[in-house]
Amino acid sequence: MEKRRLGKSDLEVSEIGLGCMGMSFGFGPPADKNEMISLIRTAVERGVTFFDTAEVYGPFKNEELVGEALAPFRKRVAIATKFGFDLDPKTTEAAPGSVGLNSRPAHIKQVAEASLKRLKTEVIDLFYQHRVDPEVPIEDVAGAVRDLIQQGKVKHFGLSEAGAQTIRRAHKVQPVTALQSEYSLWFREPENEVLPTLEELGVGFVPFSPLGKGFLTGKINADTQFDKGDFRNVVPRFTQENRKANQAVVELLEQFGRKRNATPAQIALAWLLAQKTWIVPIPGTTKLQRLEENLGAANVELSPSEIDELGTAAAKIEVKGARYPERLAQMTGR
């Protein structure tokens, strides 16, 4: 697998990474730990060098999983994790938004120490602010991460779901290596203001949910029943009515896939990879078959005319439903 550099930084990673959240959190009961360790290690063998986690996933369990799985390969891979929430160590189940935000500098440094232990590492390759905290100036956040970088505990600073002005302010204090936000053929809002800002500043972009939380794989329809603990049960875009309406996006991907002998997921990922050379999507999965399928997208090269045709056709489809419940939507774009 080829490598990509995140913006102007020296952080070079595989062109497709692996989002590990769903292995422990968000989409129903946690998957079997040993199976997930095997899956993560298989990803390394297939050339993946970029793995994404966060303290809130579990909470804490996903970092422990990723740390154990990657310990034998630590020098070959980059691990990204996140800070920004107040979590009770006794909590067994939490979701972003159900706990308070906390990006106070002292807390950031506490989280870093705890994450280093769970990840079984001496340095965090990329440390994201998980959500912008309106109670803490972003300059203070950037300064705290700068301190950690100077201490050798963190290599790179990142932001997640931040707005363009916040990115600019943070970047003046400590260069931002990457922004992580949702981006796919069915959520293209970053194209309006965020992507031009990143290009101007030389910041990399790491799209999460590049397959629309599974919807763009074509394996979800109006009749799909989600586990009671699945986050998608509260996402407006995933109501039964909206899933039925949004099949038009999947049908478009299937149409292109037939031309290229590729799956809808591979077309969706190939389109993302073609947007900018500093974009590194991080699709998540708990299945080996899906991992192989996703990584196969790196071999699907769309022509410039196909890229334009696909993007134009997708833009004409009105996607139904918001990507987050209102409470969580308020925590994005700040």
The pLDDT tens digits along the chain (334 residues) read 999 999 999 999 999 999 999 999 999 999 999 999 999 999 999 999 999 999 999 999 999 999 999 999 999 999 999 999 998 655 544 444 347 899 999 999 999 999 999 999 999 999 999 999 999 999 999 999 999 999 999 999 999 999 999 999 999 999 999 999 999 999 999 999 999 999 999 999 999 999 999 999 999 999 999 999 999 999 999 999 999 999 999 999 999 999 999 999 999 999 999 999 999 999 999 999 999 999 999 999 999 999 999 999 999 999 999 999 999 999 999 9
Q: Tell me the two tokens of residue 315.
A: 């833009």
- For the segment 274-283, what is each residue's pLDDT rounded down to a tens digit? 999 999 999 9
Which amino acid would we find at residue 294?
N
Q: Are 280 and 13 in contact (CB under 8 A)?
A: yes
Specify whether the CB–CB gap between 40 and 286 falls below 8 A. no
CB contact set of 278 (below 8 Å; sequence gap of 6+): 4, 5, 6, 7, 198, 199, 204, 205
Q: Are 88 and 135 in contact (CB under 8 A)?
A: no
CA-wise closest residue to 115 among 73, 77, 65:
65
pLDDT at 42: 98
Complete domains list, the chain, with CATH: 3-214+276-300 (3.20.20.100)
Instruction: Give CA–CA dist 157/145, Å, rounded.
Output: 7
pTM: 0.97
pLDDT at 97: 39
Catalogue the active-site residues: 57
User: What CA–CA distance (Å, rounded) separates 107 from 73?
Assistant: 29
For residue 2, the tally of other CB atoms under 10 A from its CB is: 9
3-state secondary structure the chain: CCEEECCCCCCEEECCCEECHHHCCCECCCCCHHHHHHHHHHHHHCCCCEEECCCCCCCCHHHHHHHHHHHHHHHHCEEEEEECECCCCCCCCCCECCECECCCHHHHHHHHHHHHHHCCCCCEEEEEECCCCCCCCHHHHHHHHHHHHHCCCEEEEEEECCCHHHHHHHHHHCCEEEEEEECECCECHHHCCHHHHHHHHCCEEEEECCCCCCHHHCCCCCCCCCCCCEHHHHCHHHCHHHHHHCHHHHHHHHHHHHHHCCCHHHHHHHHHHHHCCCECCCCECCCHHHHHHHHHHHHCCCCHHHHHHHHHHHHCCCCCCCCCCHHHHCCCCC
pLDDT digits (tens, 9 = 90+) for 173-207: 999 999 999 999 999 999 999 999 999 999 999 99
Q: How, if at all, do strands 124-129 and 3-5 pair?
A: unpaired
